[in-house]
Structure 1
Amino acid sequence: MFTGIDEVDWASLRHAYGSAEDVPPLLRGLASADAVERETALDGLYGAVHHEGRVYDSTLACVPFLFSVVARAEVPDRAGIVELLASIGTGGAEGTGAAGGGAPARYAVSSGAEAFVPLASDADARVRRAAASALVQFLDDQPARVLDLLRQRLLVERDDAILLAVTEAVGLFARRHPGHAAPAVELLAARSAPPYGPGLRLAALGQLACVAPDRLPAGLVPTAVRLLRERSAQRAAESGGPQEDTLVARIRRLRPSDEEGSRLLRTLHSALGDRVDDRIALLTGQLTSPDPRDRGNGVWMSAGLFRGLRADHRRPVSLLGAQLASDHAWLRDAAVSVLAELFGLAAPAADALHTLVTARPDLWTQRWHGGPPTLGGPLRALSRSGDRRAVPVLAQVLDSTAVPVDLGCEVVPLGRAAAPLAPALRRRLGLIPLDDPAAARLARPLLAAVGAVGDREAVPEVLRLLSGGPDGPGGLDGIAGPAIETLETLGAAAQAAPLLRRFLHTRHAAAAASALWSAEGDANAVLPSLRRELAERRHGRRRPAAEVLGRLGPAARTALPELRRVAESGPAAERAWAACAWWWIERDPEPVLPVLRTAWTEDPTARRPIVGCLAEMGPPAAPLRELVATELAAVRRHNARETGHGSHDIAEDEALLGACREVIAAL
């Protein structure tokens, strides 16, 4: 099984943590008789030679030995090794001391792909399941043979979980081999109808939606919802007998999961794409299912819908609110986490959130891994929705001994409605010790809250913090910028003018210049600093300077040469801010509109400042009207990404839409 393993110069090969000389014991551990050793070995290989999907030279050296292990029927847990091989073969990230990225890795696994053929009919069901997809992915040069193997598995397989995996493999085959897709589509179409079971039919419908939507039945969504209910009822009937009383079984009952169902519905959602009405109808079916696992899957899929697509989301949001009364804590917590990202869009669930907050004071705060307390999810979601009923509860939390470090941030969406909190916020701000290393982390949320509620009585506390900021005696890095912005928001910059002038020569120059201009209106006092900031090539320095110059308007005319240079080069967002400032200063749209058009297309994050400029520009902005109208008509959010998301993405997109409507009104 490991013939030749000691002949490899592992010490000269590399993985994520350096020399690969520790790899041979991991490979041998895969064939151990001890289950713990096998699991540890597999984890070790994922963590080192295939760290975060990367491919190293040691990764390629492992492939022949991995194939040797999976070929031995007596070795347990081979399914995980098949999955590791498939992951290596599809990995594209290049590691340190790497093998040149994904192409060599794919070639290495494809060269041994014949090994997947007998594994597709292996005695171990988990191996058969993993091998179905691997056949399609790596036996590329024999499509007719692969399809025949899949057809045979569909005929002889009796395990429902394997049938689902093979059905998904047939869909993958149709996508990878369009020239051979017709017979694969026929296989899927046949299994999307009776007499096949609801799970298999759902799988087939999802794959058909991806590869042959014209073959879908009429009333796809009602059909899918009905099949989902039938599948849940079937699962409930099958699990109605005596249940194990093991620790694992008890944990599963506390937090049940349905990964298979999640995958089936996620495939269907992905295939429906931008058909937002159909997706909302499908979510409605999921969120009203009698089975809490179906509802849980619906909760997480609603998050993807809200983040990616614009629509009237009131119905699914209301159904998320209904989950808050569930007896299942895991379902309630999932719904709360999604609602917290919606900000104002969570309004249809505000009553349910308020009921939960009122009934469960123990959920007002939370701690993670022994860290400082943070605001609990239900109260955070209620506050972010802008519901003023959060204010009395926040007041009680502020009066407690352990105030959440992030509470101030969650006050901001409430704005002036949170004015009753001003004395407590002010007191907390005044209690922050200037010699505390965590002072900046504690102060920033409170400064944001003080500015949001408009508490002018907090000015002495803000000045105390500012005097200890960068270049001050306390050296509290990270406080100066927010403190300066808060003073300006409160209209109190004049009281700090001598101190603000000191910051004109620091990284907070733009904030200080803005505040001084608001207080004194003397452009000559702030222009040199702002022009220096425009010349800075460090990340994040030019954008705020351009924004402040735009506020100065014609008084900033001497900075036009620098603004033009920024508007004609550099990142799109910086070009957009510089062009907006250029217009504010000269009020000539002709040289500015082409810059704004290009930046709009290149960087969606530049659209917010652009629409603000266009709204003020009014009729002269007419040449860019179609950009704004197209944005308003778009189904996809401007900041939706294939991978990853930010907690404020939805709120930022909704703000962009509001600004776009202002532009259309101004035109």
Structure 2
Amino acid sequence: MLDELDGVDWPALHHAHGPAHDVPAMLREAALDELYGSIFARGTVYPATAAAVPFLVSLGEQGRPDFLWMVALLADPAQTAGETELVREAVRAETRRLLPLLSHAEPAIRAAAAYALAQCDVDQAVLWARWEVETDAGVRASLVPAMRLTAAITDASPSVRAAAAVTLVRDGGPFPRDPAVIEGLAVAAEAGAEVPWLRWAPADWLDVVVPAVADPGLLTRLLRSAVPETRRAAIRALTRRCEVSRSAPAVLVPLLEPVLHDPDLRDDAILALRRCGRAAARFADVLSEAAAGPPGDARPAAIETLMLVGDPRWVHLATRPPRSLLPIPCTPEVLEAVRGRLTALAGTPDGLPAIEVLCGIIARWEAAAGPAVPELLAVLPYAPAPAIRALLAVGHAAAPMIPGLRTAATRPGGLLAATTLFRLTGDPAPALRALLTARPPIPPGVVELLGPLAQPLVPEFELLLTGEAAATPAQCAAQLLAARVVIAATGDTTAALPTVHAVLTAGGPRAALAATAVAELAGDAGAALPGAAGVRGAGGWLGEMRVWEPELRSLLGDPWADVEAAGALCRLGVPAGELVPVVLAAIGRGRRTVAAIGLLRELGAQEALTRLAGSDERLLTGGADDDVVRTDEVLRDILVR
């Protein structure tokens, strides 16, 4: 059938890298890795994928099970994204060719064909006939999902039991609490059971089953296993359960105590605690011991976990910045320890690294770290740059900072330092120079503070107000800043608003930036300017922007700009009831979750906020895997304020 490759208009189709003109060569060369990277990149399928299915089946018929497995996975909705239904239909169309492969002499071919047929709604009698005579465990494990044979969870084969457990979880059925079933699955794990059709992450079947089972019985049994690899798999699965359920850590984290004292698994358990949020605080003594111990993978994780649970023992151990950008609790005990540590480090020859770390953390605390100002001023001569950043974040401005502010104002990102210098000296020149090269996010209030003083910059900024969207988001961000500065300096919207509108209609990330600018301008018009009634009239820029409502509404369906568009529409007076579902959908996708929660509060959607706070499901964000639980805990704190 490969002779028919030239009969397909491949350039008219696309895959992960554009037009699919290169697919025929990949298929002729049986280049499996290249095919995965183009027509099945990171689990996403495309129109070219559907066109390739008959040829992949042909390669499978020639004795290449890897290509049949690709066909099987392409049709599995649990393991694909993109043009899934188009590709599933292409696989279903090959049912007649796949059925004979159930009797192939090679077990790997039979297993792949069985799983492909599991997605094709074939006659169950055919599958039962194969089940009755099949002796290979891998093939039987592939038949389980095809037949929804969840009763096979007690099968004699470890792999079949594991496959049945995964199928049961995927189908959403109640998981049995029968001790015999729990023991059977534990024994399957100890025997190294594999589920051949579970190819994408999580590839280990325990990572699928344990997080979905609320009853801790299976996990308890796995952690008591005599097989170290089974205990290690249980630790990994425990963290995954904690990552999907808010109630899980309180129940499951205590189960880690035995492995925390197991020399072979202690590091794994400490790394797991890093991912389990505040519940890790119960093992603070163990974490402190590990944090003070010899270098290794677990030591930085232990220090960072102490930071995130608010245990002050991290203060004397931290010598490098934490990898996580999450908030570190500023408890009175922690703040007192930080102040004492800064005092001890001031003037010491090797204290700079620790001073930089502590100043960086104080900067995260902002106004809450106000009592640390004397200590920051004391280290200012030894570490001017980090001390200045911390003092600015705390909100302190004083004459001893002026030399450091002058230096910081000339560096990239120096707008806040330059603005503080203006407040202290009355000289706007450094702030104007910094504003000219600034890039978002702009510190709040800076544009409004400078206002008419920014008139000398207007000619240069007006060069960016072309009435057309620039090519890149960074260039568009510069245009939007120029629009805000020109309006604040002159009150004239003639050139500014057409450019904002052009960026707004560019779609994607550029439109998101413009929608944010619209919300900010609407806030300025409605709150900051005198004579609000006049501003809101047809002659004010709020009235000019209100005619953009259709464009903003079209962005509510744009996954790059939905939250920002909803925020702009809120400021322009659109009823909250129309916007809340959009914001909730964005939160469900992990899209700009913090901003979306803030917008719900602005919309007065208290019922939705209460529901999100009370759910057992974690809120998703785009952060690091290690931070899933802790990020959700921070978000929940925001929800219940």
Q: Tell me the SS of whatever aligns to 1:392.
A: coil
- 2:130 aligned residue: 153
Tell me how large the CA RMSD over aligned residues is.
Answer: 5.4
| Shift in Å, 1:82 | 0.4
**Residue type at the aligned position of 1:355:** E
Structure 2 Cα separation of the partners of residues 427 and 576 of structure 1: 52
Pair 1:68 & 2:58 matched: yes
Deviations 1:484-510 (A, max 9, x none): 89x79xxx9646974446555665687
**Residue type at the aligned position of 2:67:** I
Deviations 1:293-330 (A, max 9, x none): 333333333333333322162342233465454444xx
Q: Pick closer, same or farther for the CA change 1:340–1:205 going to 2, 3 Å.
A: closer
- 1:383 aligned residue: 307
| Shift in Å, 1:337 | 4.4
Pair 1:292 & 2:278 matched: no
- 2:187 aligned residue: 230
Structure 2 Cα separation of the partners of residues 542 and 497 of structure 1: 33
- 2:294 aligned residue: 360
Structure 2 Cα separation of the partners of residues 483 and 429 of structure 1: 27
Structure 2 Cα separation of the partners of residues 510 and 57 of structure 1: 39
Structure 2 Cα separation of the partners of residues 17 and 258 of structure 1: 23
Contact 1:383–1:410, Cα closer than 8 Å, also in 2 = no
**Residue type at the aligned position of 2:34:** G
Deviations 1:326-374 (A, max 9, x none): 444xx55554444334443431233332222222234488xxxxxxxxx
- 1:244 aligned residue: none
Deviations 1:356-413 (A, max 9, x none): 2222234488xxxxxxxxxx3333233222221111111xx3xxxxxx4656957944
Deviations 1:106-164 (A, max 9, x none): 444333332322322323222222221111223x4xx32xx123223332222333322
Structure 2 Cα separation of the partners of residues 200 and 19 of structure 1: 41
Pair 1:311 & 2:231 matched: no
**568-577 or 106-115: bigger deviation:** 568-577
The equivalent position to 2:616 in structure 1, one of 629, 635, 649, is 635
Structure 1 Cα separation of the partners of residues 199 and 576 of structure 2: 52
Pair 1:651 & 2:630 matched: yes
**Residue type at the aligned position of 2:292:** T
Q: Pick closer, same or farther for the CA change 1:343–1:288 going to 2, 3 Å.
A: same
Structure 1 Cα separation of the partners of residues 278 and 267 of structure 2: 19
Structure 1 Cα separation of the partners of residues 242 and 205 of structure 2: 19
- 2:103 aligned residue: 121
Describe how 1:51-66 pairs up with structure 2 within 5 A. Answer: 51-53=41-43, 59=49, 62-66=52-56
- 1:207 aligned residue: 167
Pair 1:609 & 2:609 matched: no
Pair 1:165 & 2:142 matched: yes
| Shift in Å, 1:80 | 0.7
**Residue type at the aligned position of 2:339:** A
Structure 2 Cα separation of the partners of residues 501 and 547 of structure 1: 20
Contact 2:327–2:364, Cα closer than 8 Å, also in 1 = no
Structure 2 Cα separation of the partners of residues 551 and 429 of structure 1: 48
- 1:351 aligned residue: 285
Q: Pick closer, same or farther for the CA change 1:307–1:544 going to 2, 3 Å.
A: farther
Structure 2 Cα separation of the partners of residues 210 and 408 of structure 1: 33
| Shift in Å, 1:81 | 1.0
| Shift in Å, 1:201 | 4.1
TM-score normalised to structure 2 length:
0.64
Q: Tell me the SS of whatever aligns to 1:68.
A: helix
Q: Tell me the SS of whatever aligns to 1:306.
A: helix
Gaps of 5+ in 1: 31-40, 95-100, 172-186, 237-256, 366-375, 398-403, 433-441, 583-589, 615-620, 663-667
Contact 2:73–2:116, Cα closer than 8 Å, also in 1 = no
Structure 1 Cα separation of the partners of residues 75 and 87 of structure 2: 5
Structure 2 Cα separation of the partners of residues 346 and 545 of structure 1: 43
Structure 2 Cα separation of the partners of residues 655 and 348 of structure 1: 19
Structure 1 Cα separation of the partners of residues 71 and 576 of structure 2: 52
Aligned length: 534
Q: Pick closer, same or farther for the CA change 1:502–1:383 going to 2, 3 Å.
A: same
The equivalent position to 2:238 in structure 1, one of 298, 302, 309, is 302
- 2:462 aligned residue: none
- 2:338 aligned residue: 418
**Residue type at the aligned position of 1:122:** H
Contact 1:12–1:20, Cα closer than 8 Å, also in 2 = yes
Pair 1:110 & 2:92 matched: yes
Pair 1:42 & 2:27 matched: no
- 2:150 aligned residue: 188
Contact 2:14–2:48, Cα closer than 8 Å, also in 1 = yes
Q: Pick closer, same or farther for the CA change 1:512–1:87 going to 2, 3 Å.
A: closer
Contact 1:510–1:544, Cα closer than 8 Å, also in 2 = no
Structure 1 Cα separation of the partners of residues 85 and 294 of structure 2: 54
Contact 1:300–1:338, Cα closer than 8 Å, also in 2 = yes
Structure 1 Cα separation of the partners of residues 272 and 119 of structure 2: 35
**Residue type at the aligned position of 1:298:** A
Describe how 1:205-604 pairs up with structure 2 within 5 A. Answer: 205-208=165-168, 210-211=170-171, 213=173, 217=176, 219-220=177-178, 222-232=179-189, 263-269=204-210, 272=213, 277-278=214-215, 280-311=216-247, 313-320=249-256, 322-328=258-264, 334-363=268-297, 376-394=300-318, 397=319, 404=320, 409=325, 412-413=328-329, 416=335, 417-422=337-342, 447=360, 449-450=362-363, 452=365, 454-455=372-373, 456-457=376-377, 460-461=384-385, 462=388, 467=406, 473-474=410-411, 476=412, 479-480=413-414, 494=424, 498=428, 499-500=430-431, 503=434, 507=438, 511-514=442-445, 529=485, 539-540=512-513, 561=536, 573-574=563-564, 601=584, 603-604=586-587
Deviations 1:16-71 (A, max 9, x none): 557867656644544xxxxxxxxxx3212222444444556765564444333322
**Residue type at the aligned position of 2:128:** R
Deviations 1:611-644 (A, max 9, x none): 7769xxxxxx7xx543343233322233379xx8
Q: Pick closer, same or farther for the CA change 1:208–1:493 going to 2, 3 Å.
A: same
Structure 2 Cα separation of the partners of residues 25 and 591 of structure 1: 54
Structure 2 Cα separation of the partners of residues 149 and 339 of structure 1: 48
**Residue type at the aligned position of 2:150:** L
Q: Pick closer, same or farther for the CA change 1:647–1:504 going to 2, 3 Å.
A: farther
Q: Tell me the SS of whatever aligns to 1:655.
A: helix
Structure 2 Cα separation of the partners of residues 430 and 484 of structure 1: 28
Q: Pick closer, same or farther for the CA change 1:62–1:493 going to 2, 3 Å.
A: same
Structure 2 Cα separation of the partners of residues 153 and 612 of structure 1: 58
TM-score normalised to structure 1 length:
0.62
| Shift in Å, 1:79 | 1.8
| Shift in Å, 1:581 | 8.7
Deviations 1:522-541 (A, max 9, x none): 99989985975997556457
**Residue type at the aligned position of 1:609:** G
Percentage of matched positions with identical amino acids: 25
